[in-house]
Amino acid sequence: MPGTIVQTVTFKTTPDVLFALYTNPAKHTAAIGAKALVSTRIGAKFEAYDGSLTGKTLGVARNRLFVQSWRADDWLPEEPDSILTLFFEKVGKEARLTMVHANIPDEHLHGIKSGWNAYYWTPWKRFLAPRRK
């Protein structure tokens, strides 16, 4: 039975910076250290990590919400795409990102849950950290 992951992460930045980090292909690529194709245009293709992640943009509320279909290349063809929803909000002087990733095939749930931290949240925090001179 497909599962859902909910994760909330706080970053020392603003919601608009986080939104751009995910939706701007150059920033997305720089932040994760792997080529990414992403757009805010509804229906636009998504691809990251050399095509191992793919999908399409389904909905956008600039700097607040981003929704896309999402799948990994090791999913069976008959397994439907999952739905990824990212919520961006200001909390004091920081930004909170809440991710709801639904309809994930059960056998991939654990790996994807830990993968978000390893391949996105930790690299994003490193990318956003002040540069030492």
What count of Cα atoms within 13 Å lies in the side-chain half-sphere of residue 117?
Answer: 9
Does the structure show a pLDDT above 70 at 52? Answer: yes
- Kindly indicate whether the domain formed by 3-128 is annotated with CATH number 3.30.530.20: yes
pLDDT digit string, tens, across residues 68-119: 999 999 999 999 999 999 999 999 999 999 999 999 999 999 999 999 999 9
Q: How many CB atoms lie within 10 A of CB 92?
A: 7
- Give 132's pLDDT tier (boundaries 50, 70, 90): low
Angle, CA 97 vertex, CA 105 and CA 74 arms, to 5°: 25
- Residue appearing with tokens 């509320």: 61
